[in-house]
Amino acid sequence: MTEITVYTREDCHLCAEAIGTIEDVASEVDIDVDLTLVDVDEADLDEEYGERVPYVFVEGRPAFKYRVDPDELRANLRP
């Protein structure tokens, strides 16, 4: 299982797009993903992330900011 964390905020269209891309690619390559969503406003991380959402970590490492590149994500998810 691959751990993916998305730092997001409410009403963020780029966040919704990033999450959709992650779900689509994970399904396409048939990889189980443990997707965790962290609302930066609720987690009191708004100062740290500001407007830099979505911020996506794959296996604890920064992978994408603002947009998730499907090809790059596929490469990261393949065994």
Q: What string of H, E and C letters represents the secondary structure of the chain?
A: CEEEEEEECCCCHHHHHHHHHHHHHHHHCCCCEEEEEEECCCCCCHHHHCCCCCEEEECCEEEEECCCCHHHHHHHHCC
Q: Give the CATH number, domain containing residue 15.
A: 3.40.30.10
pLDDT at position 76 is 86
pLDDT tens track of the chain, all 79 residues? 899 999 999 999 999 999 999 999 999 998 899 999 999 998 888 788 888 899 999 999 999 999 999 999 999 887 6
Domain that holds residue 58: 2-77
pLDDT at position 3 is 96
pLDDT at position 79 is 66
Question: Total structural domains in the chain?
Answer: 1
pLDDT at position 47 is 83
pLDDT at position 35 is 97
